[in-house]
Amino acid sequence: RYDFSAVNEAVYALGSRRIAVELPGKRPGHRQFRLPGQVSTEVRETNFGDGGLGSSIWDAGMGLSIWLCEHSNVVRDRRVLELGSGVGLAGLVSAQTGSLCTVLSDMGQVDEAEASILASQMPQEEQPQRLLSNLVHNADINGLGDSRCEIRRIDWNQIDGSEEKFAVVIGSDLIYDRADAPALAGAVLAHTAP
């Protein structure tokens, strides 16, 4: 049995140290975190077949989430875009720490017409199938399924100049292959407000 009061006391005793404490998930397959500033966030991770590289929390995503809790002024009262959200931890924290709206984005599932194009560019086993529906789930379980969080499919290779601009663009552990760096740079530039 888990002693929540002991965990809370330990978190308070650590004072201003930059940490996150993982608590037992409320649901099977979910992870719950207590972050600085009393921010509590729960996410469901998926299997690799459903989410590819975005199926789980990566260390840099946790680091960005802690940083956002300590620097909430960066996102407060601003529209924020998280590129390559994966399970969405940092984007959810952005919404919880005061953004006007945070858009969580990833490649996600595609329609049939896009699937044939994508299949020619990326092997089927590398295509994330359920990232976007998992992002919707994670926003909902954190009470952010309203106007504070939006979920969108953004393909960095499909930048056309008409992209919505955001005051703040965040992301962590965004590329695994160096070949993706130019597309990522283009997406950041295309979505960042002047």
Residues 53-57 have a mean pLDDT of: 70
Instruction: Give first-to-last CA distance, the chain, whole Å.
Output: 52
Close Cβ partners of 194 (under 8 Å, ≥ 6 residues apart): 165
pLDDT tens digits, one per residue of 86-98: 999 999 999 999 9
> Of 165 and 180, which is predicted with more confidence?
165
Q: Is the pLDDT of residue 106 over 50?
A: yes
Which of 3-7, 14-18, 73-77 bottoms out in mean pLDDT, i.e. has the lowest?
14-18
C-alpha distance from residue 111 to each of 114, 117, 119, 138 (Å): 5, 10, 12, 22
Residues 74-89 have a mean pLDDT of: 96
C-alpha distance from residue 157 to each of 43, 50, 82, 113, 143 (Å): 27, 21, 16, 16, 32
C-alpha distance from residue 175 to each of 42, 100, 151, 158, 180 (Å): 24, 27, 20, 16, 6
Residues 44-58 have a mean pLDDT of: 72
Residue 138: is it exposed, middle or buried by C-beta count within 10 angstroms (0-12/13-18/19+)?
Answer: buried
Residue 14 — very low, low, confident or very high, per pLDDT cuts 50/70/90?
Answer: low
Q: How far apart are alpha carbons 180 and 69 in whole angstroms? A: 29
CA proximity to 67, closest of 103, 115, 19: 19
pTM of the model: 0.80
Residues counted in the chain: 194
